[in-house]
C-alpha cells in the first residue's frame, strides 16, 4: 500500500515521536510512505535525538524561521499564516496525489488546514485523518479565529473516509463536529518496544545516586498543565513518613525553576533528582530506574506518550481520572486512577504502591502485557492499514 503522510507540525517533542514511529512502523510492515512536511522540518531525523524538553532543540534554516514566528508573532497573525499554508500544501501534494493511483492520504489534522483533504478527495483518493486536538478545547497556545477554525474543521471531518482519534474524548467531539460515527476509530498512542532499557537499571540508579531508594518517577516536558506542584505536595507528605522514598523528575521546561524553588522551600532537595533535558533515546533507561510512575495531570483530550512508556517499562502508574487515561488503564489492574487535581488522593495512591512491592509489581506486569498486546506502533500500523483497506473497498 502507498501512503502519503502529510502534517503541518514542527516535528518536535511528542508530535515528532508520533509522526516518526507511525511512518517507520508502516514502512516496516512493507508499505511505501512519502512524508510531506513544512519547509525545513524533518521529524524522522530529529525524533529519536530530541530531548524530552523540546524547547532548546537546535534547528536551522526555514525551520528556525518557523519557530521564531511561532514564538513571537501575535496569535491572530500566526493563524493567518496557518491559513495561508493551504497554498503550500496544495503545491507540495499536487504532484504526489495522482488520480487512480491507489494512494492513501494520511493527514495529521491541523487547524485551518482544509485544501489538502479537498485535493485528495477531488482525485478520488482515500483520506485517513488523524485527530489529536479540536478547536475550542484549551491548548498550549490560544485560538483567536475559533469560529472559522470550527467551520473548516467540520468540512474536513465530514470529507475524511476515516477519522482516527487518540482518545474517546476526541471521538465524541468528532461526532459532534460532522464526522460519521461509523468512520471514527479510536487509536491511542503507543510505544516502539516493551521492556527497553531494563538492563541499564542498576547502572542508571548508581549514576543518579538512588540505588538504595524506592523511586517514584515522572517523565515529560515541565509545563503548567503537568501540575508538578500537585506531585511535589503529595510527595512532601509521603516523604515525611517514608524517608527512603525518592522522586525522579526526568525532563525540563518552563516551570522547572518553580519546581526547584518549591522543593527547596519544603526541604526536599536531597529527596528529589531533576535530570534536566534527556534525549529520548535515554528515556527507557531512566524509566527502568523507577519503581513506579506517576502522571500527576494531563489535558482531557490527548493521549500521553509518557503513560505508554511507563507501562511498557513495567511500572505501575498512578494517573488522573480522564477519558484518555481510562481508554488505556483499568483501575487496580493495569494502573491506579485517582481523582483529578487532588494531592491527597494522589499521595494516598502513591503511598499504597510504595508500601506494597507485590501490588506494584503485579500492576506493572499487567501494564506491560497490555501495552505489548495492544499499544505498540507496529500494532497501530496494522490497524491503520486495515482501516485504509476497508475504506478503499468502499470507494466507488
Q: Are both 223 and 133 inside the same structural domain?
A: no
pLDDT at residue 165, as a whole number? 98
Burial 296-329 (b: 16+ CB within 10 A, else e): bbbbebbbbbbbbbbbbbbbbbbbbebebbbbbb
pLDDT at residue 53, as a whole number? 45
- Give every residue of the chain whose pLDDT is below 70, as ranges: 46-69, 139-140, 394-396
pLDDT at residue 59, as a whole number? 52
Q: Are both 62 and 35 inside the same structural domain?
A: yes
* Residues 163-220 pLDDT 10s: 999 999 999 999 999 999 999 999 999 999 898 888 899 999 999 999 999 999 999 9
Distance (Å, rounded) from C-alpha 83 to C-alpha 140? 19
Number of domain units in the chain: 2
315, 348 contact by CB (below 8 A): no
Q: Are both 161 and 112 inside the same structural domain?
A: yes
Q: Are both 214 and 67 inside the same structural domain?
A: no
Query: What CATH number should be reported for the domain holding residue 244?
Result: 3.40.50.2000
pLDDT at residue 14, as a whole number? 82
Distance (Å, rounded) from C-alpha 362 to C-alpha 68? 47
Q: Are both 13 and 149 inside the same structural domain?
A: yes
3-state secondary structure 163-231: EEECCHHHHHHHHHCCCCHHHEEECCCCECCCCCCHHHHHHHHHHHCCCCCEEEEEEEECCHHHCHHHH
Q: Which residues face 164 on adjacent strands?
A: 130, 185
Q: Are both 30 and 132 inside the same structural domain?
A: yes
User: Domain of 88?
Assistant: 2-190+376-394
Q: Are both 137 and 79 inside the same structural domain?
A: yes
Q: What is the pTM of this model?
A: 0.91
C-alpha cell recorded at residue 243: 524517608
pLDDT at residue 12, as a whole number? 77
Distance (Å, rounded) from C-alpha 144 to C-alpha 158? 23
pLDDT at residue 51, as a whole number? 46
Amino acid at each position: 500500500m502507498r501512503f502519503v503522510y502529510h502534517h503541518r507540525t514542527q516535528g518536535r517533542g511528542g508530535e515528532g515521536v508520533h509522526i516518526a514511529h507511525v511512518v517507520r512502523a508502516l514502512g516496516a510492515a512493507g508499505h511505501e510512505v512519502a512524508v510531506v512536511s513544512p519547509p525545513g522540518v524533518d521529524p524522522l531525523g530529529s525524533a529519536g535525538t530530541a530531548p524530552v524538553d523540546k524547547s532548546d532543540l537546535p534547528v536551522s534554516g526555514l525551520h528556525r524561521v518557523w519557530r521564531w514566528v511561532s514564538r513571537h508573532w501575535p496569535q491572530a497573525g500566526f493563524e493567518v499564516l496557518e491559513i495561508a499554508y493551504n497554498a503550500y500544501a496544495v503545491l507540495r501534494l499536487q504532484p504526489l496525489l495522482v488520480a487512480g493511483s491507489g494512494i492513501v492520504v494520511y493527514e495529521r489534522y491541523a487547524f485551518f488546514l482544509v485544501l489538502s483533504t479537498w485535493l485528495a478527495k477531488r482525485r478520488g483518493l482515500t483520506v485517513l485523518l488523524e485527530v489529536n486536538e479540536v478547536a475550542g478545547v484549551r491548548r498550549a497556545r490560544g485560538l483567536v479565529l475559533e469560529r472559522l477554525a470550527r467551520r473548516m474543521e467540520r468540512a474536513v471531518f465530514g470529507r475524511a473516509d476515516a477519522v482516527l482519534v487518540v482518545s474517546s474524548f476526541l471521538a465524541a467531539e468528532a461526532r459532534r463536529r460532522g464526522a460519521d460515527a461509523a468512520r471514527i476509530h479510536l487509536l491511542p498512542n503507543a510505544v516502539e518496544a516493551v521492556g527497553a532499557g531494563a538492563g541499564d537499571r542498576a547502572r542508571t540508579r548508581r549514576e543518579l545516586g538512588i540505588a538504595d531508594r524506592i523511586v517514584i518517577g515522572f517523565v515529560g516536558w515541565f509545563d503548567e498543565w503537568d501540575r508538578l506542584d500537585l506531585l511535589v505536595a503529595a510527595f512532601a507528605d509521603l516523604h515525611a513518613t517514608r524517608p527512603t522514598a525518592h522522586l525522579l523528575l526526568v525532563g525540563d521546561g518552563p516551570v522547572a525553576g518553580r519546581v526547584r524553588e518549591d522543593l527547596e522551600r519544603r526541604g526536599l532537595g536531597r529527596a528529589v533528582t531533576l535530570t534536566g533535558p534527556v534525549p529520548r533515546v535515554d528515556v527507557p533507561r531512566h524509566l527502568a530506574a523507577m519503581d513506579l510512575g506517576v502522571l500527576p495531570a494531563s489535558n482531557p483530550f490527548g493521549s500521553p506518550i509518557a503513560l505508554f512508556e511507563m507501562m511498557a517499562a513495567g511500572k505501575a502508574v498512578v494517573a488522573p481520572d480522564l477519558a484518555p487515561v481510562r481508554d488505556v488503564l483499568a483501575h487496580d489492574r493495569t494502573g491506579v486512577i485517582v481523582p483529578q487535581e487532588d494531592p491527597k488522593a494522589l499521595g494516598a495512591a502513591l503511598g499504597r504502591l510504595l508500601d506494597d512491592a507485590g501490588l506494584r509489581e503485579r500492576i506493572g506486569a499487567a501494564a506491560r502485557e497490555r501495552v505489548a498486546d495492544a499499544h505498540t506502533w507496529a500494532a497501530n500500523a496494522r490497524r491503520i492499514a486495515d482501516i485504509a483497506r476497508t475504506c478503499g473497498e468502499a470507494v466507488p
